[in-house]
Amino acid sequence: MCFVPTLPIRVRPLSPHKLCVFAPLFDSVLVDQIPSGCFPQDPEVAEEECLNGEVDVVRINGEPVIRTGRDVSCFLVELRDDGDPALTFRSLVIGTLFACVRAVNSQLGFFMPDLIYISSINLMLLIYIMGMTWSKALPRRSMVNGTRFAVLGPLLEIINHGEFRIKEHAIATWIATSASFDFKTSAELNYVIQTLYYNTTVHAMTPILAGLSVAGFG
């Protein structure tokens, strides 16, 4: 027995060039009425059909009706892959830099009555601006090929390999947002209180290591 949707409902598309229809209400049908897409299929064959656009699917106003898991894979899951690298020197540097910026911003908010807080959305936009500026301003390997500076080509390839794309943007944003939380509730505040109220000299390395220990080991 397979389930076929009877009341399709339009949902928000996952990509600007794909619109999908989802049917949360189903009705059972007889075995001889089972659509061909409900039968098990070789995963490699199904993947090739998805990539080639050869999937047999019912469409309403040009939009596919999602009935099976194969339809979900073909029409709901984005198959696009630009092939560009994700974990690069640029994404690591930008992500780490903005992680430090937001960590300082969050930590200062604990001691100051008013603070301009950098949200994740603003952080993402700032990372995009810096990434695009990096890719346009810094030299690339193609600029020195065939010149006396060609020996610097491998280094420039690491520093600025090309356009700032979505994968690098995602990695840099994840690094910045995951590592930019403040230490409000950590043992680091004990040393701050000792310095402010008890006139106790605390070496800078002590609260730094304490904060890293709490952040790393909970």
pLDDT 10s digits, 38-62: 444 455 555 566 656 566 777 888 7
How would residue 36 be classed by pLDDT, with cut points 50, 70 and 90? very low
Type of residue found at 75? F
H or E element at residue 66? strand 63-66
Average pLDDT score over the chain: 73
Type of residue found at 140? R
> What is d(CA 21, CA 30) in angstroms, rounded to the nearest whole number?
23
pLDDT at 11 over 80: no
Q: Say if CB 127 and CB 98 are below 8 A apart.
A: yes
Beta-carbon contacts of 71 under 8 Å, excluding residues fewer than 6 positions away, are: 37, 55, 57, 64, 65
pTM across the whole model? 0.55
pLDDT at 75 over 90: no
Q: Which of 13-17, 97-101, 117-121 has the lowest mean pLDDT?
A: 13-17
Residue-level pLDDT at 4: 39
> What is d(CA 188, CA 172) in angstroms, rounded to the nearest whole number?
27
> What is d(CA 208, CA 147) in angstroms, rounded to the nearest whole number?
47
Give me the helix-helix angle, 89-111 and 166-178, nearest 10°. 30
pLDDT at 137 over 80: yes
Q: Which of 139, 133, 130 lies closest to 99, judged by CA?
A: 130
Residue-level pLDDT at 92: 94
Q: Say if CB 90 and CB 137 are below 8 A apart.
A: no
How would residue 97 be classed by pLDDT, with cut points 50, 70 and 90? very high
